[in-house]
Each structure stands twice: as structure tokens, then as C-alpha cells.
Amino acid sequence: MLNPTVIAEVLSPATEAYDRGAKFAHYRYLESLQEYVLIAQDRMWIEHFARMGKQWLLTVFNRPDEVLLLLSIECAVPLLEIYAQIELPAEENFVAE
């Protein structure tokens, strides 16, 4: 990985804790990294971390009508496209955890 601007991780039960914890702690030291995206595979839930100076701003996307904006690479992806091939639970609830 050479100077990434955006890193996206698809979470799995086996790696989720590491992706959220130690891995992201290492990634924060990459000066080039502007956005870190965690994508749940079992429900419509995306966590988007954006670098704001020395801080990271978290935005959660969990509704089918939302669009994930990756400003650092001028990209917009509707959640419906991200989850198009994924079979989600029938009673998807959109309550924040």
C-alpha cells in the first residue's frame, strides 16, 4: 500500500475488532490517508471516517437512499449500489447503534 488516500474494509466477524481497533490505529499514521470506510456485510451499515486536520470525523450511513461521498477522490456511491448483490435481513431496521 503506497500512499493510499482512501481505504475501505468489508467487515467480517473474524476481523471486525481488528479493523476497527489496531488496524485503524496504524492507518491513522499514514499522512496520505484522508478517508477510512468500514462496510458491514450483514446489514446496511457503513462507517465513514474523514480526516479533519488531526481529528477524524465519523459519519454513519444506514439508509438505502443515502450516498457515500468520498470527497478526497471525488466519488459518490449510492448505498443501494454497494448492497445491490447482498441479501439483507427482511426486517432491516435503521436505528443507530
Chain CA centroid to CA 20, Å? 10
Closest CA to 68 of 33, 28, 31, 37: 37
CA distance 75 to 67: 10
**What is the reported pLDDT for 1?**
62
**What is the reported pLDDT for 88?**
80
**Residues in the chain, pLDDT under 50:** none
Q: Name the pTM for this structure.
A: 0.87
CA distance 82 to 44: 9
Domain ranges of the chain: 6-82
